[in-house]
Structure 1
Amino acid sequence: MTGARGEAAAGRFLCADAARARVDPLAGTAPYGSVWILVEYRGGWPSNGFDGLDLHPEVKARVFSAAQRLRARILLVRRHGRTPAGRPRRWAVLRYASGGDQRQHWGTWERDEELSGIVDALEAPGEPGGPPVVLVCAHGTHDTCCALRGRPVGRALSERWPDAVWECSHVGGDRFAANVVVLPDGVYYGNLDAEASVRVVGEHLADRVHADHLRGYTDLFPPQQAALAAVLRHAGPAGRHAYDVVTTLRDDGGWWVRVAARPTGAPSYDVRVRSHRTAPHRLTCRGESASSAVVYEAVTLRTAGTGPDGLP
């Protein structure tokens, strides 16, 4: 027996298997962010990703400092399989802004010093549009499940969209492997296998986001992500920009989130979201201590303005 099932049969703890057995909710688990830095690195990835690379210290410090100022996330990337010799390594700065404005800036590097171009790119607006970038977390030195579940997904997606797909380092939520992130859209999907990933990414690229496998949009906060996922589950798949979160009110019981449709005239929804902490569990393959996670749950969904305590 091979693969994830073989590992599990051998008695090894696998966080993604455990999370699926517990039916850990996906909605509301995408980390917040709107700027990403991709650095192609074809050698072995350290467990801590970019921080652990043996690069010129001054260059690495400059890139890291510039990324911190914008709260940008730095991810190592590589193509699935072998890359032809002589092809220059690439880097990218990808941005998402409210309203759907997307920007990309790509460059190449051979010497460490050439990564300083990332710093300049972070200070420039970048080019509008550009083809989507599909990332598959396959960071096995960070978490076993990311490799066991991520590599087959990376292979399947690369066979279908070879120019769009990259394997990447840790994106968060190891227990939801295989994780896929579509940029600059900033959309996280989880609990994917090879077959499901081709279907989910194909639908996304056709501008149909489904609630199944959706972890969230990275320009929204967790209760907003959970509310939007509930709307998609109720109303059916929709485009990445088919809805806006227009109001979020916090009270002692949780949040009321209004999700408004584009264009106006289509149904909008008020969603009640509550949160709670789970019992402690092992949440990653590498971490042996138990931790609790915060779960965001949509408990009420109604057409906007139809309830006495609805949003104004």
Structure 2
Amino acid sequence: MPAAERFFCADAARTRGDPIAGTAPRGFVWILVEYRRAWPTDGFDGLDLEATIKALVSTAAQAARARILLVRRPGRRRHEGPDKWAVLRHEHSGVHRQQWGTWSRDEDLAQIAAALAVPGHAGGPPVLLICTHGRHDPCCALRGRPVARALADRWPEDVWECTHVGGDRFAANLVVVPDGVYYGGLDADSSVTTIEEHLSDRIHPDHLRGYTDLLPPQQAAVAAALRRFGPAGRTDYTIAETTREGDHWRILLTGRSPHPHCVEVELQAHRSPPCRLTCRGPAASSVIVYEPTSVRTL
């Protein structure tokens, strides 16, 4: 009897044509902890750190609603000097702030809790995070590592591999922080093109999962506007109004010139048919999909 064919969630999602827009997790603050050894399945939570330090960082992160990601440089398992940590913020005003430090002992990570209590420095180049967390989901490693290598060849100081960011079936996943922009379904070639455009403030809808400061239907509305009217900068569209009647959503976007001044996007929410969403989760489940039904200028 032939062996069962191995299941890969990213392959299955592409075969099904799973919609990618409106799938970015909400978030404004990211904590990065460089860790060059093997990553535990549950990331930072699984590290063997001094208990009080680990609790301090976790509690501070929870209070700030921050996500902790382990990171490492692509293809560079060892280098001289201490590891890095960072606190990256996307403020409601649109200002981006970064604070970086180093650690060589567990006690040094207490700096992260202190950094969460201060604003940090405005500006700085964006950080490109590519999920390669194979212990969490094989697709993340198989699809993420070629993307990380391709991007690191072009932007070596800005690229990090990272632990689980969500949406395994959309691997390779890339998060630009503190911008708070999620991309998915990337390969080596498309990732370079996507980031070239992103850094030129031209965001396209093809690989866009969403902006982390927006709700899922708002993310889907922005992607629909980009698809209808062409690429735009990260802040060229803002949410002016959001209304809901049952499963029907109406989102008004205000556009900055040369984009349309006012765009109305209507979306219908529905649940996808149950299916297997991750490589390691055999149970079938469904997700909410926001399907644009109308995109027009007012």
Query: Do these two structures clear the TM 0.5 threshold for a shared fold by scoring above it?
Result: yes
Q: Partner of 1:201: helix, strand, or coil?
A: helix
State the one-letter code of the partner of 1:34: F
Q: Report the Cα distance in structure 2 between the residues aligned to 1:161 and 1:32, rounded to whole angstroms.
A: 26
Say which of 240, 252, 263 aligns to 1:269.
263
Q: Report the Cα distance in structure 1 between the residues aligned to 2:205 and 2:35, rounded to whole angstroms.
A: 33
Given the alignment of the two structures, is residue 189 of structure 1 paired with residue 215 of structure 2, yes or no? Answer: no
State the one-letter code of the partner of 1:286: R
User: How far is the alpha carbon of 1:252 from its aligned partner?
Assistant: 2.1
Q: Residues 102 and 40 (structure 1 numbering): CA distance in 2 closer, same or farther, change over 3 Å?
A: same
User: How far is the alpha carbon of 1:267 from its aligned partner?
Assistant: 2.9
User: How far is the alpha carbon of 1:116 from its aligned partner?
Assistant: 0.4
Q: Which residue of 2 aligns with 1:234?
A: 228
Q: Report the Cα distance in structure 1 between the residues aligned to 2:290 and 2:249, rounded to whole angstroms.
A: 10
Q: Report the Cα distance in structure 1 between the residues aligned to 2:132 and 2:4, rounded to whole angstroms.
A: 22
Given the alignment of the two structures, is residue 92 of structure 1 paired with residue 86 of structure 2, yes or no? Answer: yes
Q: Which residue of 1 aligns with 2:105?
A: 111
Q: Partner of 1:232: helix, strand, or coil?
A: helix
Given the alignment of the two structures, is residue 13 of structure 1 paired with residue 7 of structure 2, yes or no? Answer: yes
Q: Which residue of 2 aligns with 1:4?
A: none
Given the alignment of the two structures, is residue 168 of structure 1 paired with residue 165 of structure 2, yes or no? Answer: no
Q: Report the Cα distance in structure 1 between the residues aligned to 2:113 and 2:176, rounded to whole angstroms.
A: 23
Q: Partner of 2:74: helix, strand, or coil?
A: coil
Given the alignment of the two structures, is residue 138 of structure 1 paired with residue 132 of structure 2, yes or no? Answer: yes
State the one-letter code of the partner of 1:268: C
User: Any idea what the Cα deviations from partners look like across 1:206-235, whole Å, max 9, x if unmatched?
Assistant: 111000100000000000000000000011
Q: Report the Cα distance in structure 1 between the residues aligned to 2:77 and 2:218, rounded to whole angstroms.
A: 40
Unaligned runs of 5+ in 1: 1-8, 305-312
Q: Which residue of 1 aligns with 2:280?
A: 286
Higher alpha-carbon deviation: 174-183 or 97-106: 97-106
Question: What is the RMSD of the two structures over their aligned residues, measured on CA atoms?
Answer: 1.4
Q: Which residue of 1 aligns with 2:205?
A: 211
User: How far is the alpha carbon of 1:104 from its aligned partner?
Assistant: 0.3
Unaligned runs of 5+ in 2: none
Given the alignment of the two structures, is residue 38 of structure 1 paired with residue 32 of structure 2, yes or no? Answer: yes
User: How far is the alpha carbon of 1:263 from its aligned partner?
Assistant: 4.7
Say which of 237, 244, 259 aligns to 1:243.
237
Q: Which residue of 1 aligns with 2:18?
A: 24
Q: Which residue of 1 aligns with 2:49?
A: 55
Q: Report the Cα distance in structure 1 between the residues aligned to 2:169 and 2:280, rounded to whole angstroms.
A: 11
CA contact (8 A) 2:32 2:69 kept: yes
Q: Partner of 1:226: helix, strand, or coil?
A: helix
Q: Report the Cα distance in structure 2 between the residues aligned to 1:86 and 1:301, rounded to whole angstroms.
A: 53
Q: Report the Cα distance in structure 2 between the residues aligned to 1:53 and 1:248, rounded to whole angstroms.
A: 41
TM-score, with normalisation over the residues of structure 1? Answer: 0.92
Give the number of aligned pairs.
296
User: How far is the alpha carbon of 1:266 from its aligned partner?
Assistant: 4.0
Q: Residues 241 and 265 (structure 1 numbering): CA distance in 2 closer, same or farther, change over 3 Å?
A: closer
Say which of 254, 259, 266 aligns to 2:253.
259
State the one-letter code of the partner of 2:179: D
State the one-letter code of the partner of 2:137: D
State the one-letter code of the partner of 1:270: E
Say which of 66, 72, 75 aligns to 1:78.
72
Say which of 190, 206, 215 aligns to 1:221.
215
